[in-house]
Every structure is written in structure tokens, then in C-alpha cells.
Amino acid sequence: MKSLRIMTIATALVFTVSAFGQTLEDLAAEVERAASEEGKINQQREQEFIQARDNQRNLLAQARQELRNEEARSDRLKNDYDRLERELAELETVLQERMGNLGELFGIVRQASGDIQATLDDSMVSAARPGRTEFLSELAQRKELPNVQELRKVWSIMVTEIAESGRVVKFTAPVERANGEKQDLEVVRVGVFNAVSDGSFLTWDPSKSTENLIELARQPAARFQSMASDLQSASPGETVDMSVDFSRGQILRAVVQSKSPIERVKEDGGIVGYVIIGVGILGLLLCLWKAFVLYTTGGKISKQLKTKDANKGNPLGRVMAIYAENPDTDIETLELKLDEAILRESAPLESGLSFIKVLYVVAPLLGLLGTVVGMIATFQMITLFGTGDPRMMAGGISTALVTTVLGLVVAIPLTLLHSFLQGKSKSLIQVLEEQAAGIIARLAESR
């Protein structure tokens, strides 16, 4: 192969020499030089191949050695892992044996931490001490035993809550007003029972993340609000009267949810309730008018009793005028005339009383009607929704009770007023009869 390449090169050089006019000696020298260079190149390549082969052998030997080393290291680690697993199992057994009652204690601590957290979240003291339950929340969810310092901290939190429950504290906190506006206000806290600000009672809502103090939409009576204002303006050491909600806000929340009498009439009374109220107003106005008439007439009769001159401006004067106009009439005729005059004067005095009686009889009947309507609505709710939710039946029952109460509230005063007015009317008629009888008696004596 090599000789063929040399001959090829020589032939090429012969043609080249022929072309360029070189001698054969030059050609021979050129061929020898080319053969020498070719040999050097081949030798260099052979050395590179041999060196690469040796390097690969070394790398292979090195890789095999590293593999043996790693396999040995893997065996050692496996043995160490098995040994540590056995030691861990032994240590866990020893730990469980040595813990003894500590495991039960840990469960009690977790449960107590959760209970204390719930109590503190529901306490108004948290308004001035925000974030104090974070430690208890973390402790209630922990899986490791607490240390002595943490147990002491739990005890400290409990003692602090007990101490704060007997203190009256003034501080500044965010408050949600009744109109929804949020403000930082000065708050006075009475133990864990009440909190007031600007003369208004506040309630504590632990479900809100911020602005847990909320102003009641409906405040208690004015005298309690006055107490709240006096408490907030009191100086340190001063003693003032203050009402305390021992239920920790439940009564105040009930005040917000409860309806006023006017709201009950509007929402629960219905049409029947308005009719009963109308009957009551009409009866009251009629009673006032009748009382005014009777007392005015009674005053005129009293004046007439003081004089013998008949004044026809009052019932007694008109009765006495019968005798003055008929002085010579016989006793029987005069007596009949006087009886007629008394009957004529009795009708105005007794007018309206029968209608008042009708009103106080109708009022409880209307209340009974409202009761029946409310019960019908209640049974309709039971038919549609069953008895699972009592609140569905509350509307009809409330209507029944409110109308019954309204009927009784109207009937009782009207009954008393009717009895009083009827007695007043009878007393005036009795005065007329007594005076008429006196006239007849004096006339009989004179004849």
C-alpha cells in the first residue's frame, strides 16, 4: 500500500517534472523527502493511538477501583443504617417506658391549652391584650412535650385572666360603631362583663379578626347609659354605680335581638293588631269625652244645689223648673212630670256608655280572632316545612300572642273606665231623683 502511494507520487512528480522541466535527481530527492515525512506522520499517529489505549486502560482500572470502593462504602452504610434502626427502636421503647405518666400529662396540657384559648378568645380582656392566645394555639397542636417554662407560661396566662376579671381598666381600642364606622375610641372595661365607650355599651365578638368590640345597635334603658357615662368620666379611685352583665354579654346580645313593643305590633300584630289599637284609641277618646261631659255637668249640678233659683243651663235646674212652672199642679201630676224630666235628663248622661261597653267586649274578641289567625299561619308552616325548625313557626305564634295581649290591654282599661263613668252617671241621676223626691215631699207636707 505504501509502495503504491510512493509510485503514485513518483508518477505524479514525473509528469510534474516533465511539465516544469525538472531533472530526475530532483524528483528522486522530492520522493525521498515525501516518504520520510509520511513515515514520521504515521509514527506519530501510532504513538497517539498507543497512548490513548493506555489512558483508557488506566481509566477503566480507576473506575473499577472506585466501584469497588463505593460498593464497600454502601455495605458499611447499610450496616450502619440497620444498626441505627435497631438503636432507634430500643431508644423509643426506653422513652415510652420512662415517660410513664408524662404522656397522659401531655394530653391534659394540650386539652387544657385548647380550653383556655377558647375562654380567652371569648373574653373582653383580649381587647386590650391582642395576640395572647397564639402561644396556647401552638401548644394545643404541638406533638412534643412542653418544657417547664412553657407550663409556667400557661399558668401565668390563667392567673392574669383571673386578675383582670376583677379590674376596671381604661384603654384605647378599635371599635365598630352601630353605623358600621370603625374608630379608635377610649374604652372602659368592667372585668370580663361589660365594656362601654362614649356612654354606649359594647359587645365582644370573637369571630371577627379585627374590631372585636362592637357598639350595640340597640342600647339598654337611659339609666344604664347614664351609668356608663358616669363610669367613663369617673376619676381613679372614685366610686360610681354601674350595672354588670353577669352573663358576659349574652343579655346585651339578647337586647339587640329582642323587639320593642312598637316593633312587635308592627311586625307581629298584623291587620288585626291595628284594628284592636284603633278600637282602643276610639274607646279612650270616647271615655275622655264622656268624662269631660259628666264632670262638667256635675259641676253645674253642684252649683245648682247651692241656690233655690232654677237655672235651665243644667239638668237639675231644668228638673226644678218643672215645679216652678207648675206650682198649683196636683202631687200625682207633678210627680209624673218630674219623672219625665228625669228620664229626659238621664239619656244624655248615659249616652255613649253602652258603646264603650261594646268596645271593651269586642277588643278581646278581636284578640281571639288574631290568635286564631296566628295559629292558622303556624299550622300552615308545619304543613309546608314540618316541625324541624321551630323558628318557622315563631311568626304565627307571635302573631297569636301579640293580638291576644293587645285585646286584653285595650279591654281591661276600657272596662275600668266604663265602670267609673257609669258610676259617675248614676250618681248624677241619683242627685236628680233625690231632689225630685224632695220637691214632692215638701209639696205633700204643705198641702
Concatenating the DSSP letter of every residue in 89-146 gives HHHHHHHHHHHTTHHHHHHHHHHHHHHHHHHHHTSGGGGTSTTTTHHHHHHHH--SPP
Statement to judge: residues 60 and 159 lie in one domain: no
- SS3 at position 83: helix
Residue 384 amino acid letter: L
Helices 331-350, 391-446: axis angle to 10 degrees equals 160
- Is 184 among the domain residues? yes
Q: Say if CB 130 and CB 211 are below 8 A apart.
A: no
Residue 340 amino acid letter: E
Q: Say if CB 315 and CB 345 are below 8 A apart.
A: yes
- Is 114 among the domain residues? yes
Report residue 163 as a C-alpha cell: 386578675
CA–CA distance, 236 with 243 (Å, rounded to integer) = 18
CA–CA distance, 302 with 117 (Å, rounded to integer) = 80
- SS3 at position 351: coil
In terms of residue numbers, what domain contains 142?
102-165
Q: How many other CB atoms are found less than 10 A from the CB of residue 240?
A: 14
CA–CA distance, 175 with 200 (Å, rounded to integer) = 11
- SS3 at position 215: strand
Statement to judge: residues 385 and 407 lie in one domain: yes
- Is 92 among the domain residues? no
Q: Say if CB 371 and CB 398 are below 8 A apart.
A: no
- Is 82 among the domain residues? no
pLDDT of residue 336: 84
Cα–chain-centroid distance for residue 15? 115
Alpha carbon separation from 40 to 12, 30, 153, 336 (Å, rounded): 22, 16, 91, 178
pLDDT of residue 19: 46
Report residue 53 as a C-alpha cell: 489505549
pLDDT of residue 102: 64
Which residue, 133, 149, 165, sits at the end of a domain?
165
- Is 133 among the domain residues? yes
CA–CA distance, 417 with 422 (Å, rounded to integer) = 8
Which residue, 231, 258, 285, sits at the end of a domain?
258
Backbone φ and ψ of 367, nearest 5°: -60, -40
- Is 174 among the domain residues? yes
Statement to judge: residues 390 and 325 lie in one domain: yes
Q: Where are the beta strands (DSSP E) in 122-229?
A: 168-176, 182-190, 194-197, 200-204, 213-215
Backbone φ and ψ of 196, nearest 5°: -130, 155
CA torsion sign, 99 to 101 to 102 to 108? Answer: positive
Strands 168-176 and 213-215: parallel
pLDDT of residue 291: 92
Statement to judge: residues 134 and 267 lie in one domain: no
- Is 56 among the domain residues? yes
Statement to judge: residues 124 and 194 lie in one domain: no
Helix (H) or strand (E) holding 86: helix 24-99
What are the residue ranges in the chain where pLDDT is below 50?
A: 1-4, 6, 10, 12-21
Grid look-up 359594647 returns 202
- Nearest partner of 211 among 127, 140, 153, judged by Cα: 127
Statement to judge: residues 348 and 425 lie in one domain: yes
pLDDT of residue 244: 80
Statement to judge: residues 266 and 403 lie in one domain: yes
Which residue, 223, 258, 293, sits at the end of a domain?
258
Report residue 200 as a C-alpha cell: 354606649
Statement to judge: residues 267 and 409 lie in one domain: yes
Grid look-up 346585651 returns 252
- Nearest partner of 105 among 138, 64, 146, 59, judged by Cα: 146
CA–CA distance, 74 with 76 (Å, rounded to integer) = 5
Beta bridge partners of 192: none
CA–CA distance, 438 with 447 (Å, rounded to integer) = 14
Beta bridge partners of 173: 185
- Is 383 among the domain residues? yes
Statement to judge: residues 136 and 238 lie in one domain: no
CA–CA distance, 372 with 378 (Å, rounded to integer) = 10
Which residues have CB under 8 Å from 440's CB, separation 6+? 331, 334, 335, 338
- Nearest partner of 275 among 398, 401, 362, judged by Cα: 362
Residue 279 amino acid letter: V
- Nearest partner of 401 among 237, 213, 270, 294, judged by Cα: 270
Backbone φ and ψ of 194, nearest 5°: -135, 155
Statement to judge: residues 276 and 413 lie in one domain: yes
The number of distinct structural domains making up the chain is 4
